[in-house]
Amino acid sequence: MTMTSKAQSIKLFSFDTPQMRAFHMAWMAFFVCFFAWFACAPLMPIIKGQFGLTVAQIANINIAAVAITIAVRMIVGPMCDRYGPRKTHTGLLLLGAIPVFGVAAAQSYESFLFFRTLIGAIGASFVITQYHTSVMFAPRVVGTANAATAGWGNAGGGVTQATMPLILAAIVMLGVDEAFGWRFALIVPGVLMVIVGLMYWRFTQDCPQGNYAELRAAGIEIEGGKKGGWDSFKLAAANYRVWLLFVTYGACFGVELFIHNVAAVYYVDTFDLSLKQAGIAAGSFGLLALFARALGGIVSDRMALRSSLNGRVTLLFILMLGEGAGLIWFAHSDNVTMAIVAMLSFGLCVHMACGATYALVPFIDKRALGGVTGIIGAGGNVGAVAAGFLMKGVGSTQQTLVILGVLVTASALCAIALRFSASTNAEHALARAAA
């Protein structure tokens, strides 16, 4: 697949080309997956009361929500290389809807935990989204394309925080008891996943030239890897830059996932907000993804055009430092207004850092794009699981936030260690000029 087959620009209001169809369907698929992934979080104060959950059990549920995604992200990345993003994303959406319906039918802590764990698999949608835009867009805009699709998809986390309490309220107004209303509310994201899964199959293709199966049958080489699967994973795992970004992504996206899981309860417990008020406050963090993650990709692309790949590295380093400082500020906020300002401040750095990370991913190893994307994506969930265990061990959300701030600041060193050699920067400049 030649570089010239990739889109050189993003025509935002177009659905006419394979590249833009993939762009729009990718962010929509990730949006509904993220919406379904965290649909339980804003309803946890009600679910907690119904099942009589302890603090330790809630911590287990939060950990379960992101733990399985580690393995699934590592699997679906290489699967994209082998089977193509179209088949992989469609399958994840349709199969992932099953546990979303299942959690609405849970009758005990154990069954709720089981389905909540399985729901975590749909978080792997992010990897497929980033893979699909990486093979569709040229280097000059790939950072923006990756960050925009991921950011708009991540906004599903903010939308679910704000809308699930409203959906529940609407159901209760129809005369349904609140104890059953939350179950009906959780059916909504499952239905959306089925609809978007069918649309993904209908409107997308794997790469600008077509679908992988037909291209391989015609003897056409595919950029993501000749074989894909395990070969892609091994090649990616041997690259030290993959593991450096694994750490940085754990420190930014892992924190993002952690905040999505604990923010609503934190605002209720710390500042005595109502469920609706806490949902709106927590939702504002997720809604930053509508523009902030894309902003990280846009700035990364601009810095690369002005200097080199190391411009992307420098940006990531600065954003990680800002995130760490903002987390500590948030933890020490003693009133709700200051807490929201601090949360939005470090949230801006979090989302931009996520965008800046995946603006670097397409340049790590083009021979194993799926493996690289999958491993780094899994790093985000490792960070979230580690944060969950940290909170379980510390026993205080506030203290956990302070410790996370220190750890995030330290992880910025991994960003600096990513710096590329002069020869690699020269190769990148030549490829960009030829595109």
Q: What is the pLDDT of residue 435?
A: 56
Measured CA distances, 122 to 29, 136, 137, 229, 383 (Å): 10, 22, 24, 19, 17
Rounded Cα gap, residues 244 and 413, in angstroms: 9
Q: Where are the beta strands (DSSP E) in 251-378?
A: none
**CA angle at 236 for the pair 230 and 242, rounded to the nearest 5°:** 145
Measured CA distances, 48 to 54, 412, 423 (Å): 8, 36, 56
Type of residue at 184: F
| Domain assignment of residue 8, yes or no | no
The helix/strand/coil state of 7 is strand
CATH classification of the domain holding 178: 1.20.1250.20
| Domain assignment of residue 9, yes or no | no
| Domain assignment of residue 199, yes or no | yes
Number of domains in the chain: 1
Q: What is the pLDDT of residue 1?
A: 39
Burial class (CB in 10 A: 0-12, 13-18, 19+), 193: buried
Burial class (CB in 10 A: 0-12, 13-18, 19+), 425: middle
The helix/strand/coil state of 8 is coil
pLDDT of residue 29 exceeding 90, the answer is yes
| Domain assignment of residue 217, yes or no | no
> Token match 């490792």: residue?
382
Token pair belonging to 278: 């806490």
pLDDT of residue 433 exceeding 70, the answer is no
Q: What is the pLDDT of residue 223?
A: 63
The helix/strand/coil state of 274 is coil
| Domain assignment of residue 168, yes or no | yes
Sign of CA dihedral 391, 47, 27, 228: positive
Give the residue ranges of DSSP H helices in 55-211: 55-83, 85-104, 109-119, 125-136, 139-173, 178-185, 187-203
Measured CA distances, 124 to 46, 67, 116, 119 (Å): 27, 11, 15, 10
Rounded Cα gap, residues 188 and 156, in angstroms: 13
pLDDT band at 434 (very low <50, low <70, confident <90, very high): low
pLDDT of residue 19 exceeding 90, the answer is yes
pLDDT of residue 431 exceeding 80, the answer is no
Rounded Cα gap, residues 166 and 7, in angstroms: 40
pLDDT of residue 84 exceeding 60, the answer is yes
pTM greater than the 0.75 cutoff: yes
Mean pLDDT of the chain: 90
Q: Is residue 249 within 8 Å of residue 126, measured between CB atoms?
A: no
- Ranked by mean pLDDT, which of 49-58, 67-76, 245-254, 391-400 comes out on top? 245-254
- Give the model confidence (pLDDT) of 171-187 as tens digits: 999 999 888 999 999 99
Q: What is the pLDDT of residue 146?
A: 92
What would the DSSP string read from start to end of 67-96? Answer: HHHHHHHHHHHHHHHHH-HHHHHHHHHHHH
| Domain assignment of residue 353, yes or no | yes
Residue 384, C-beta contacts closer than 8 angstroms, at least 6 positions apart: 66, 250, 253, 254, 255, 257, 258, 261
| Domain assignment of residue 2, yes or no | no
Q: Is residue 296 within 8 Å of residue 353, measured between CB atoms?
A: yes
| Domain assignment of residue 5, yes or no | no
Domain with 232 in it: 15-207+225-434
The helix/strand/coil state of 137 is strand
Q: What is the pLDDT of residue 344?
A: 96
